[in-house]
Amino acid sequence: MDLKSTDPRDYEASPHGIAAMPKEFPAGSRIPSHVHGRAQLIYATSGVMEVTTADGLWLLPPQRALWMPAGIA
């Protein structure tokens, strides 16, 4: 099995225009507020993901995605 890194720092320095990083999170997982140097397309393949910024809160079921610009906490 080819294991890929799940460390965002490995992707933010990528010379490619697009980099993909799949991650799995158990139900109820919470990630502290943070900032990325690259924009992200955030989506859940199952369950519902809640994304919060200073401007609002988004609930993402598997049929939806959220574009998060670089530099937004």
User: What pLDDT sits at residue 1?
Assistant: 41
Long-range contacts of 12-18 (CB under 8 A, 24+ apart): 12/36, 12/37, 12/38
Using 70 as the pLDDT threshold, list the residues of the chain that sit under it.
Answer: 1-3
Instruction: State the maximum Cα–Cα separation within the chain, in Å, rounded to a whole number.
Output: 40
- Beta carbons of 38 and 12 less than 8 angstroms apart: yes
User: What pLDDT sits at residue 24?
Assistant: 85
User: What pLDDT sits at residue 3?
Assistant: 59
